[in-house]
């Protein structure tokens, strides 16, 4: 809260205002790990943080041209004023997923607040310009599947790959929203739509390609393992010798050359598992099998990782494991677990601690059909209680012996998969009780 920029020119740096680590730069940390707190509880601050990406849209267009893209905008991997400040492109500019991360945060904010003015004023422009880049950099292969090559996903120990699952699945979501919102805005706000369309030269055939690319996005899946592969080449990499790696050789990036690390099946942080958290798009079986596969390979050398594995442990009903990851998350800076708290607090991890309660134990997912909840409660706790400001009205969720939801007006929930409208107060049993 203290570190969040309160004007459209400032944002939240990786260390907030607590230290000089990462030189005060803003990353995707804001959209994926920090914005949920603001979107769910202080939408005015959230809107301002979103607006920042609009303020730097011109610089992002320039960056796209500099990188050889004919059209669209490329959000810088790390920046303050809008210019790309990353000095190491394999784990920097190659992280194209930031374009979809920003769009994802805009869409989550919109679904939660119903703030259509944000979309009309600046949101759609950012979503469309960043979506254009996928069309410019991707292509339909011989089987007409849309491929996105030469990118780095969230896991910075696996660089410059073809078809990173996280990137592709978020790009598909991003493109679908760019297309669907165009239809919605053109019908409901024809005058304002005409202005947006003219301003950024939106073309009907471009929208049609976006729709096709979204529907035909290639998502790596390995039938034998029953998992989504992190990318096309992941399975063929060598096994990292975890047992033979001394404890004091972590984080690996400080002890091994990047090229050594890139040759192995070893993850710095959640990648495919993070996509499941954001999109909740695969079957329970695939999610659980993938989780087990990737957890074994993940070092959590990035502080952005334990909270994600914790939230997804709740999702697959491993509540004790979720609780252990939660404790790691909240103790990270209190106990200096990464031995670098002197450089500043890990603010994405702090956002992740908040998310661990709401998205992890509460099981919240914000979707077009309403608010999904799938509560699980660690045995160590008696009650979890949190409040959200959904479409301008207060929602109170209490997870104890029973699940209690209080609302100020009728709201559609999907609890443990079953739709229910709450208008006032309801008490009900829930499945994840321990």
Q: Site for ligand IFM (CB under 6 A): which residue of 108, 302, 318, 376? A: 302
> Per-residue x/- mask for ligand IFM, residues 349 to 388, rule CB under 6 A?
----------------------------------------
CB of 19 to ligand IFM, least distance (A): 12
Rule CB under 6 A: say whether 14 interacts with ligand IFM: yes
**Alpha helix segments (H runs only) across 240-281:** 258-262, 272-279
DSSP string spanning 376-404?
Answer: B--TT-S-EEEEEEETTEEEEEEESSSEE
Q: Site for ligand IFM (CB under 6 A): which residue of 31, 84, 125, 156? A: 156
CB of 204 to ligand IFM, least distance (A): 37
Rule CB under 6 A: say whether 28 interacts with ligand IFM: yes
Secondary structure (3-state) at 37: helix
Which among 1, 115, 34, 42 is positioned nearest to 394, based on CA atoms?
42
Q: What is d(CA 386, CA 361) in angstroms, rounded to the nearest whole number?
A: 11
Please identify, among the stretches 21-29, 104-112, 130-138, 228-236, the one whose residues bind ligand IFM according to the rule CB under 6 A.
21-29
Rule CB under 6 A: say whether 175 interacts with ligand IFM: no
**Pairing verdict, β 365-367 and 139-140:** unpaired
Q: What is d(CA 115, CA 393) in angstroms, rounded to the nearest whole number?
A: 13
Spell out a b/e string for 207-224, using b for 16 or more CB atoms within 10 Å of the CB, else e: bebbbbbbeebbbbeeee
Rule CB under 6 A: say whether 330 interacts with ligand IFM: no
Number of other residues whose CB lies within 10 A of the CB of residue 97 = 29
Residue 69 gets which letter from DSSP? -
- By beta-carbon proximity to ligand IFM, the closer residue of 315 and 346 is 346
CB of 370 to ligand IFM, least distance (A): 31
Spell out a b/e string for 163-191, using b for 16 or more CB atoms within 10 Å of the CB, else e: bbbbbbbbbbbbbbbbbbbbeebbeeeee
- Quote the tokens at residue 183: 């239809």
Check 84, 125, 156, 288 and give the catalytic one.
Answer: 156
Rule CB under 6 A: say whether 304 interacts with ligand IFM: yes
- By beta-carbon proximity to ligand IFM, the closer residue of 13 and 108 is 13
Active site residue 285: no
CB of 269 to ligand IFM, least distance (A): 6
Size of residue set near ligand IFM by CB under 6 A: 10
Q: Site for ligand IFM (CB under 6 A): which residue of 4, 11, 16, 27? A: 27
- By beta-carbon proximity to ligand IFM, the closer residue of 14 and 358 is 14
Q: Site for ligand IFM (CB under 6 A): which residue of 10, 22, 321, 386? A: 22
Q: Which residues pair with 27 in a beta bridge?
A: none
Catalytic positions, written as ranges:
156
Positions touching ligand IFM (CB under 6 A) are: 14, 22, 27-29, 154, 156, 302, 304, 348
């Amino acid at each position: 809260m203290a570190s969040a920029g309160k004007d459209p020119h400032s944002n939240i740096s990786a260390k907030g205002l607590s230290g000089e680590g990462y030189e005060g730069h803003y990353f995707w940390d804001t959209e994926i790990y920090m914005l949920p707190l603001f979107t769910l509880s202080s939408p005015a601050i959230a809107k301002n943080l979103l607006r920042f990406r609009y303020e730097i849209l011109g610089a992002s267009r320039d960056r796209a041209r500099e990188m050889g893209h004919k059209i669209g905008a490329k959000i810088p991997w790390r920046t303050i004023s809008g210019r790309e400040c990353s000095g190491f492109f394999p784990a920097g500019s190659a992280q194209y997923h930031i374009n979809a991360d920003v769009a994802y945060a805009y869409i989550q904010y919109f679904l939660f607040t119903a703030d259509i003015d944000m979309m009309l004023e600046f949101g759609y422009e950012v979503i469309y310009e960043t979506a254009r880049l996928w069309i410019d950099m991707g292509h339909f292969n011989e089987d007409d599947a849309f491929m996105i090559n030469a990118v780095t996903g969230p896991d910075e120990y696996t660089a410059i790959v073809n078809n990173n699952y996280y990137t592709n699945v978020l790009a598909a979501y991003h493109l679908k929203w760019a297309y669907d919102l165009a239809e919605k805005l053109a019908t409901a706000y024809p005058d304002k739509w005409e202005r947006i369309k003219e301003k950024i030269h939106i073309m009907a055939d471009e929208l049609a390609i976006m729709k096709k690319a979204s529907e035909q996005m290639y998502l790596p899946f390995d039938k034998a393992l029953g998992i989504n592969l992190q990318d096309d080449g992941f399975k063929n990499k060598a096994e990292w010798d975890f047992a033979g790696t001394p404890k004091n050789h972590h984080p690996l990036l400080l002890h091994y050359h990047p090229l050594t690390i890139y040759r192995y099946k070893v993850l710095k942080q959640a990648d495919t598992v993070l996509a499941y958290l954001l999109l909740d798009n695969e079957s329970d079986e695939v999610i659980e099998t993938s989780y087990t596969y990737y957890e074994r390979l993940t070092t959590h050398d990035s502080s952005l990782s334990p909270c994600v594995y914790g939230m997804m442990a709740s999702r697959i009903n491993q509540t004790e494991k979720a609780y252990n990851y939660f404790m790691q998350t909240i103790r990270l800076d209190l106990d200096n677990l990464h031995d670098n708290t002197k450089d500043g607090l890990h603010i994405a991890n702090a956002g992740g601690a908040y998310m661990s309660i709401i998205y992890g134990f509460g099981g919240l997912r914000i979707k077009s059909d309403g608010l999904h909840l799938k509560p699980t409660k660690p045995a160590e706790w008696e009650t979890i209680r949190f409040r959200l400001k959904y479409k301008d009205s207060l929602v109170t969720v209490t997870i104890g012996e029973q699940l209690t939801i209080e609302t100020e007006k009728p709201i559609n929930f999907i609890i443990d998969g079953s739709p229910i409208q709450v208008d006032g107060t309801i008490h009900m049993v829930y499945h994840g009780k321990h």
